[in-house]
Amino acid sequence: MHTLKDKVSESLSRFFADSPNSSSSSSSPSPQARSYSKGAKPVSSYFPTLSLLSASMDRDRTIISMISNQVIQTLMDIELNLEAEDNFLNDYVECSPVFGKKATVSNLEDNEDPASGRSTSGSEMFEDATDQHSPRKHLPYLMDESVFISADLYEFLLSSLPNIVKGCQWVLLYSTLKHGISLRTLIRKSAELSGPCLLIVGDRQGAVFGGLLECPLKPTAKRKYQGTNQSFVFTTIYGAPRLFRPTGSNRYYYLCLNDILALGGGGNFALCLDGDLLNGTSGPCETFGNLCLAHNQDFELRNVELWGFKHASHYLT
Same domain, 53 and 188: no
Compute how many other C-beta atoms are within 10 angstroms of the C-beta atom of residue 295: 14
pLDDT at site 63: 74
Query: Does a structural domain hold residue 23?
Result: yes
41 and 157 together in one domain: no
| For residue 119, pLDDT beyond 90 | no
Q: Is residue 34 part of a domain?
A: yes
The answer to the question of residue 102 being in a domain is no
- Same domain assignment for residues 244 and 308: yes
Averaged pLDDT for residues 212-225? 95
Residue 88 has what pLDDT? 54
pLDDT digits (tens, 9 = 90+) for 35-85: 444 444 554 454 455 556 566 677 767 777 777 677 677 777 776 666 665
- Residues 71 and 184 reside in one and the same domain: no
The count of structural domains within the chain is: 2
pLDDT digits (tens, 9 = 90+) for 167-178: 899 999 999 999
What's the mean pLDDT in 178-192?
Answer: 95
| pLDDT band at residue 13 using 50, 70 and 90 as cut-offs | low
Q: Identify the burial level of 189 via C-beta atoms within 10 angstroms of its C-beta, where 0-12 means exposed, 13-18 middle and 19 or more buried.
A: buried
Q: Is residue 101 part of a domain?
A: no
Range of the domain at 89: 2-95
Do 72 and 167 lie in a common domain?
A: no
Last residue of a domain, one of 95, 122, 140: 95
Collapsing DSSP to helix, strand or coil, 271 comes out as: strand
Helix (H) or strand (E) holding 35: helix 31-37
* Same-domain status, 160 and 12: no
Amino acid of residue 155? E
DSSP state of 315: G
The residue among 72, 95, 118 that closes a domain is 95
Residue 263, classed as helix, strand or coil, is: strand
Q: Are strands 279-281 and 195-203 parallel, antiparallel or unpaired?
A: unpaired
> What span, in angstroms and rounded, lies between the C-alpha atoms of 255 and 274?
12
- 156 and 91 in a single domain? The answer is no
pLDDT at 7 > cutoff 80 = no
Q: Which residue has the higher pLDDT, 312 or 274?
A: 274
Please list the alpha-helical segments (H only) found in 38-140. Answer: 47-95, 105-110, 121-133
Say which residue, 125 or 213, is predicted with more confidence: 213
| Chain centre to alpha carbon of residue 274 | 39
Which of 68, 95, 122 is a domain's end point? 95
Terminus-to-terminus CA distance in the chain, angstroms?
68
Is 107 inside any structural domain? no
Q: Are residues 72 and 165 in the same domain?
A: no
Q: Tell me: do 82 and 158 sit in the same domain.
A: no
- 61 shares its domain with 160: no
- The answer to the question of residue 207 being in a domain is yes
Give a yes or no: residue 132 inside a domain. Answer: no
Whether the upstream peptide bond of residue 216 has omega within 30° of 0, thus cis, is: yes
Using the predicted structure, report yes or no on whether residue 251 has a pLDDT greater than 60: yes
Residue 144 lies in a domain: no
The confidence score (pLDDT) of residue 78 equals 72
pLDDT of residue 74: 72
Pick the range with the lowest mean pLDDT from 13-27, 188-202, 204-218: 13-27
Q: Write the DSSP assignment of 163-211 as a string of letters.
A: GGGTTPEEEEEEEHHHH-S-HHHHHHHGGGS-EEEEEEEEETTS-EEEE
Of 174, 169, 201, the C-alpha closest to 185 is: 174
- CA dihedral 67→68→70→76, nearest 10 degrees, is 160
Q: Let me know whether 191 and 312 are in one domain.
A: yes
Is 191 in the same domain as 295? yes
